[in-house]
Structure 1
Amino acid sequence: MNTSSTRIPVITIDGPTASGKGTIAHRVAEALGWVVLDSGALYRLTALAVQQQGVDPDDEIAVAQVAHDLDVAFQGDRVMLSGIDVASLIRQENIGNLASKIAAYPPLRCALLERQRAFRLAPGLVADGRDMGTVVFPDAPLKIFLEADVRARAERRCKQLKEKGFSANLMRLLEDMRERDARDRTRANAPLVAAPDAKTVDSSALSIDETVNVVLDYWSSLGFPAAQ
């Protein structure tokens, strides 16, 4: 990170899958008029490209090369991979599970690190993921660790999938989510963990608006304006 970019403020929002961090990050960024980074999308895009290209998902170097060569663009709600909108494809559970697996590969994380840091643009960035506050933006003035009960998260994901027209089984999602949580929290490289200076927010019983307000209140408590 260069000196000029480190002066651009960042709010990081880390947490387990389906904790709502993506939705919260977008809403906070909208309130502040900032850029948003969905880091998970980059790992999901890599997983999709690995699958589409027939790359061996166990070959860490080959997977990292796929990530290095990704032709990606974020255009509002559209996620473009080589000119094709794959926003719905990368949200499928099989892609999410593959993304969780390959996310443990050090060469892949290295390949995506600078690409993620390049999103740090004025007037500010809200970045969501699993290691935003611990690895990617350790100097962020506000770090949020968003938690939620695993069953509440599974129910949210089940609802999201059904609303998008995908079939979903709650018990299967719950099992997959527990396995993914364990994998994310115990991986050797950049495990899912709250940064020492992060503010932990449990969104299990909070609405989206309430959670967004908690984050904005933390931001304003640092002496910054809460919104545009």
Structure 2
Amino acid sequence: MTEPNKIIIAIDGYSSTGKSTLAKHLAKEIGYVYVDTGAMYRAVAYHAMNQGFIKDNALNKQALISDLSNINLRFEYNTALGYAEIFLNDENVEGFIRSIEVSNKVSQVASISEVREKLVEQQQKMSLNKGIVMDGRDIGTVVFPDAELKLFMTASAEKRAHRRFKEMTDNGVDISYESVLENVTSRDHLDTTRADSPLVKAGDAIEIDNSDMTVDQTYAEAMKYVNKKIGEV
């Protein structure tokens, strides 16, 4: 049997729409490589916080830009978990980058052109052999404008905040729903209004609003488009 041609699947959209969960599921199902670009930006934000480049709400942009050459990111597949974890300078930081503190800073860090340039270059190198699923904010518009399949995930801010709140409280985080909703709406504003590569739906992207969908329903909907596109190439 001839192996089907491999494609690039770009998944963009708002925070807490389940982009990463969907991308991981799709990649595992069709045997593709999954790359979590959000984790890359979170890792840079985590690094900036640890180095003292972010204090309170102030970011020392120039200090972070000057230190970019000292940031080495890689993904390592964890067979027990079934997905790749991110390493920052050889340290597994997967468990640290999902905190609300990092969430509150990541959009600010991601708005820096030099940061985006560094990470986009790394992301594009990961796709040379295709067969990749990548999610983020500008994958279909900037990183892979020629991707064969582009999905754009959206949902109401309230539904997304409820999902994020449940995820965090299930993991033992003491936080209020109101602060999570504030974080979601704040990130929406920063992501859609930043000057460099703002969050926008690519003209040829397929929009999936999963406000009232379960994880399984979202996956089934996306898989229809994946199977159709792989069958066309």
Taking structure 2 as the reference length, what is the TM-score of the superposition?
0.87
Which blocks of at least 5 consecutive residues in structure 1 are unaligned?
1-6
Q: 1:217 to 1:149 in 2, by over 3 A?
A: same
2-structure distance, mates of 1:79, 1:111: 16
Instruction: Please point out which of 155, 159, 171 is paired with 2:166.
Output: 159
Q: Are residue 64 (structure 1) and residue 62 (structure 2) matched? A: no
1-structure distance, mates of 2:108, 2:26: 29
User: Which 10-residue stretch deviates more, 16-25 or 158-167?
Assistant: 158-167
Query: Aligned-pair RMSD on alpha carbons?
Result: 1.9
2-structure distance, mates of 1:222, 1:73: 29
Would the aligned equivalents of 1:68 and 1:111 in 2 still touch at CA under 8 Å? no
Q: Are residue 31 (structure 1) and residue 29 (structure 2) matched? A: yes
Instruction: Please point out which of 70, 89, 97 is paired with 1:82.
Output: 89
**2:48 corresponding residue in structure 1:** 50
**1:40 corresponding residue in structure 2:** 38
Q: CA deviation at 1:8?
A: 5.4
Q: CA deviation at 1:130?
A: 0.3
Q: CA deviation at 1:92?
A: 0.5
1-structure distance, mates of 2:32, 2:144: 16
Taking structure 1 as the reference length, what is the TM-score of the superposition?
0.89
Q: CA deviation at 1:65?
A: 4.1
Would the aligned equivalents of 2:8 and 2:133 in 1 still touch at CA under 8 Å? yes
2-structure distance, mates of 1:36, 1:113: 15
Matches within 5 A, 1:62-211: 62-75=63-76, 76=78, 77-120=84-127, 122=129, 124-211=131-218
**1:9 corresponding residue in structure 2:** 7
Q: 1:30 to 1:188 in 2, by over 3 A?
A: same
Would the aligned equivalents of 1:142 and 1:198 in 2 still touch at CA under 8 Å? yes
User: Which 10-residue stretch deviates more, 88-97 or 49-58?
Assistant: 49-58
* Amino acid in the other structure paired with 1:60: K
* Aligned partner of residue 146 in structure 2, secondary structure: coil
Q: CA deviation at 1:123?
A: 5.5
Which blocks of at least 5 consecutive residues in structure 2 are unaligned?
79-83
Q: CA deviation at 1:34?
A: 0.3
Would the aligned equivalents of 2:7 and 2:230 in 1 still touch at CA under 8 Å? no
* Amino acid in the other structure paired with 1:114: E
